[in-house]
Amino acid sequence: MIKLIDHVLLEKNFILSIRLKSVNLPRLLNETYASFDENSQACMLTFYPKFEIVNNANEYAEIIFIIDASNSMDGKHVQQTKQLAHLFLANMKTDGRNILFNIVIFGSDNDECFPISSRNTKENIDKAKYFVLHSLDHRGNTDLFSVLRQYSLLSSSSKLGRQFILLSDGHINNLKSILILLENQSSMRHDRLFACSIGDTSNKHNLRQLANGTNGVLQILEHVGQPCVTNISIDWHGTIENQQENFTNQAPKRIRSLFDGMRLTVYRFIRNCLKVTLTATINNQEYFTTVFSNKITETKGRILHCLTARAIIQDYENGLLHDDECENELIKKQYQQDLIELSMKYSVVSSFTSFVAIEERDGQALEPGARLLDVMLENDNDLLPYISWDGEHSPIDIIKDKIINAKRVFDSASILNKIELSIEYEKLCQNISYRSGGDAKYDLMLAIVDTYRITLQEKEKARQLYDKIRESRN
């Protein structure tokens, strides 16, 4: 509880900021499902690494933009690629770091903007923009292997390694050979690949494999040149024999690489898990730490169970479950019914389920509510109606405005409401002359006549009302 000193008034808004004392320490939370089933337990592990990045003025970061110009990159995909490439180049122009860069456009063959990687000067960036703008024509197949093979023949001049940024739709030939090259070639040991997905029909499975195989992440821009945490694995010290859930693997199943300021949250259904061991590689050195739970982090409820179910569903829908794309889809198909049951159990929406909210009533009929426009027309709360922002309005203008608003309400009303409004607006028009109401009154009366004749099928009533209109106008 927060108390203020007596007789002290706040001149500004009061903002209470609550923060963790040590935000970068890993944490483990346990939850027991609050129901008749006391065997179900869920755990959540959070990891938020922080690095001290030291910029050396003598070190260069080498960035290679690899742009897909194959036949599959047609139409709007080419335009999106140009826009994204220009965005990269524009951001690099304002960057104060020393950068060497080059642009490679590939298909069945490939072209380079510069013979070797060049400095990020204004002249070179303008030349690269022109190269991107005029070189994105159709080049046949998607032969990414030849491009990476050329770079594997020589090591990078940068101590940080090469940072490949791939702009592609993911429909790549000979993916297995590319993964073997990136993993086993010694000259590319420090290189990383960042994959940017282009288009609605992109093959994100292939792009995720490329990013995972080279310590990169999907669709990332700001972490080029930073160290990262790789090969992250978690050893859960718990039991799953009597666990009531069908899914006992962690989510996400495959953990991406982490950069400075990126939070990792991993969920799992597991019982009696009082500690986990977190292992990772940072700058080619392996680190491990053990995270313990305590009474403060042990709770009862269903929030953590719902979050765990949501993470599992998202991982099976969008994650990388197997290296082979066919096997990846078979796994999703195999567990489809189990995912539906998990979604229904914890009321978490998935691609296979949706939920409808139902209001239970006691059977008594509810009175129809008042329409906002009707209330506004019936009650004029303006204390000074003759004053407005546009100057003074005459009483005739005010009457015409009310009739015009009444016509709008009448046109948008339902059939049941039109029955009541016809009587109400007919009485309103009887008290207003055609000299005051003008064409606005005439239009409203004709709308009422059409309602009687067409909608309500009271042709005699419509004829009588139309005769009154003709007499009044004469």
Question: Nearest to residue 60, comparing CAs of 152, 128, 160, 155?
Answer: 160
Helix (H) or strand (E) holding 273, with range, is strand 271-282
- Tokens 């189990």: give the residue: 338
Residue 112's H or E segment, with its range, is strand 110-112
Give the Cα separation of 264 and 255 in Å (integer): 8
Under 8 Å between Cβ of 320 and 258: no
**Radius of gyration of the chain from Cα atoms?**
34
CA distance 73 to 102: 21
Q: How far apart are CA 391 and CA 397, in angstroms?
A: 12
368-372: Cβ within 8 A, 24+ apart = 371/409, 371/413, 371/417
CA distances (Å), 207 to each of 169, 172, 194, 231, 329, in order? 8, 9, 9, 18, 16
Cα(409)–Cα(413) distance, rounded to whole angstroms? Answer: 6
Q: Residue 464 belongs to what H/E stretch?
A: helix 459-473
Residue 148's nearest CA partner among 113, 114, 206, 187 is 187
The DSSP secondary structure of 30-96, one letter per residue, reads EEEESSS-TT-EEEEEEE---------TT--EEEEEEEE-STTS-THHHHHHHHHHHHHHHHHHT--
Beta-bridge partners for 291: 276
DSSP annotation of 186 reads: G
Pairing of strands 110-112, 298-301: unpaired
Contacts of 413 (CB under 8 A, 6+ apart): 371, 421
* Helix H or strand E segment including 280: strand 271-282
Q: Which two tokens stand for residue 308?
A: 């765990």
The percent helix, strand, coil of the chain (3-state, each to 5) is 40, 20, 40
pLDDT at 307 (0 to 100): 92
CA 91 to chain centre: 23
The residue assigned the tokens 């304002």 is 94
The stretches in the chain having pLDDT less than 70 are: 1-2, 7-10, 35-38, 51-58, 93-97, 136, 138, 212-226, 241-246, 363-396, 434-436, 473-474
